[in-house]
Chains A and B, each alone.
Chain A
Amino acid sequence: MKMPLGKPGTSMENKTGGWRTERPQVDQSKCIKCNQCHLNCPDGCIFVTQKGAQPNYDYCKGCGVCAQVCPVKCIKMVPEEK
């Protein structure tokens, strides 16, 4: 008998970015790479790269926590428009 088990880490297939109504836009010239946005992100989808913070829009639900916790306010929430 085969047990119907969910495989570990497979939630990555859910691209939850479609839920978003606002997207975080990072002004990387102002970013101090403090990692606050990454540590407070409910979806674990904003990472600090060499250039500065960069969200992964595949998973970002646009909650705006990163913009709120950013100490230098370099993240702005802009409406998602097509």
Chain B
Amino acid sequence: MNASNSTNPELENKELFKSGHTACAGCGVSVGLRHILRAAGPDTIVVNATGCVEIFTSAYPRSAWSVPYIHCLFENTAPVAAGVVETLRAQGNDHTKVIVIAGDGASYDIGFGHLSGMLERGHDALYISYDNEAYMNTGVQRSGATPWKANTTTSQVGSVFKGKMQYKKPLTEIVAAHSIPYAATSTSAHYIDLQNKVKKALSIKGPKFLNVLMTCVPGWGTEPSLSMQYLKDAVDTHVWPVYEIENGFLKMNLKPEKKPVETYLKGQKRFKHLTPEDIAQIQKMVDEKWDSLLWKEKCDQERLAALKK
């Protein structure tokens, strides 16, 4: 290995997710991975589905991971993680953490059934879905995570149809409906929230799920330098509510003062065809969703307080 001209070799050596990976400039996913690994620590095994992360971190013969890493197909990440964790536990190892890193294509669509199976069987693994809202690695095709009206190569803007006609799948809620101990959402720009959630999830036994919004510079058509800003805007406009569902009780972690959705939508090429009516419709959907979450939180927290008495 060539000597690195690092400005702080001590810190650089501590980093578990190494530089030199081939993600695009301004990639929101690699920021998230750095924080996830930092929170998880070195005693971790990463199981990774096919997707951007696999391509940019593990181009043979090099690897950006400083922890044991296994790549598997789109659909079988959850079963492979289940196998790894059950083998470890059978060997008497009760400390090594198993983390699944899978994109939205693998989590929302292709590996969805197997994810459901992993949750139902109760394997002690943390499943992290990094949601960049389309199949970015293969050139931006729509997925179950793509939001309404977003332009992708398989939901193009033409004279009849303008972007994706369907709505985003509510994966976090579907996962929480499996009655698992912990399900939460976060973004890679809210790194304190993200690291706390990874630590909290790993301290719980059983299946855990994290859905983390991460920007994709070519897929969203944004400026690389604004990657983190778009994630902050997604939370500030209530488009991506940050909450956790612990043993069925919902709690909102971030309740920022609401900004209009245009703040988040403007500047993204995938949304540049939106009409004022579309934006009004998106605003309405976002407000309804936020309101329902607030009501749910109120009910859940009151029930929790009553149970504790």
Contacts and interface: CB of A to CB of B under 8 A. Distances in A.
Given A11-B63, A56-B5, A16 B225 contact: no
Contacts of A39: 35, 191
Interface in A28-66: 38-49, 54-59, 61-65
B67 interface: yes
Contacts of B64: 9, 11
Interface in B35-69: 35, 57-58, 60-67, 69
A14 B225 CA distance: 22
A61 B31 CA distance: 14
B203 interface: no
B30 A10 contact: no
Contacts of A6: 58, 60-63
Interface in B1-24: 1-2, 4-8, 11-12, 15, 17-24
Contacts of A46: 7
B57 A11 contact: yes
B26 A44 contact: no
A54 to B, nearest CB: 4
Given A11-B18, A68-B226, A63 B31 contact: no
Interface of B: 1-2, 4-8, 11-12, 15, 17-28, 30-31, 34-35, 57-58, 60-67, 69, 189, 191, 217, 223-229
Interface of A: 4, 6-16, 19-20, 38-49, 54-59, 61-65, 67-69, 77
